[in-house]
């Protein structure tokens, strides 16, 4: 064998070793394809005969309104045994006004913290005809039968019949 034949044989051998290395490496890094048999034997979950109800999203608070919610409206006083007859109740709450004895305030904005807790931004006029702004805090308790303030220690008012 001549020198050229030995060089050619060496290059061919090294090429085959390199090719074998590259093929082995390429198959090692290729993603494994799922087997057809595995795919065919996979089971699907049966649909439920009665679909589960979609949960309703809970209301997001705080919310804002231009009127007082109906649950807060009415006449409220500390004493209701006399039916609040023949006298003014402590609070007379309507959709757009809040009266506290003889002082009537216009509702500007209502901030609802929950169905039972609100802040009412009001505008009114004092005895000297000066305008003022105030925030009244209300909370319903006892299943909506009693009105109180949102802070601890607030007085309790019952709905007049």
Q: Is the Cα dihedral 101, 81, 74, 118 positive or negative?
A: positive
Which residues of the chain, if any, have pLDDT below 70? 1-52, 58
pTM of the model: 0.61
Nearest-angstrom CA–CA distance, 25 and 13:
18
Q: Are 141 and 116 in contact (CB under 8 A)?
A: yes
Total count of residues recorded for the chain: 161
Tokens of 71: 């649950």
Q: Where are the alpha helices (DSSP H) in the chain?
A: 3-29, 36-41
What are 126-150's pLDDT values in tens digits?
889 999 999 999 999 999 999 999 9
């Amino acid at each position: 064998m001549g020198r050229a034949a030995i060089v050619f044989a060496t290059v061919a051998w090294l090429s085959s070793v390199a090719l074998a290395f590259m093929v082995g490496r390429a198959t090692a890094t290729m993603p494994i394809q799922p087997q057809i048999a595995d795919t065919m034997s996979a089971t699907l979950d049966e649909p439920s005969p009665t679909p589960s109800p979609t949960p309703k999203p809970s209301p997001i608070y705080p919310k804002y309104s231009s009127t007082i919610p109906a649950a807060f409206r009415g006449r409220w006083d500390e004493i209701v045994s006399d039916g609040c007859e023949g006298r003014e109740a402590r609070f007379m709450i309507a959709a757009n006004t809040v009266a506290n004895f003889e002082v009537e305030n216009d509702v500007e904005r209502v901030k609802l913290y929950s169905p039972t807790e609100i802040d009412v931004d009001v505008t009114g006029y004092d005895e000297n005809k000066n305008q003022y702004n105030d925030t009244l805090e209300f909370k319903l308790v006892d299943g909506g039968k009693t009105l109180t303030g949102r802070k601890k220690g607030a007085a309790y008012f019952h709905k007049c019949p």
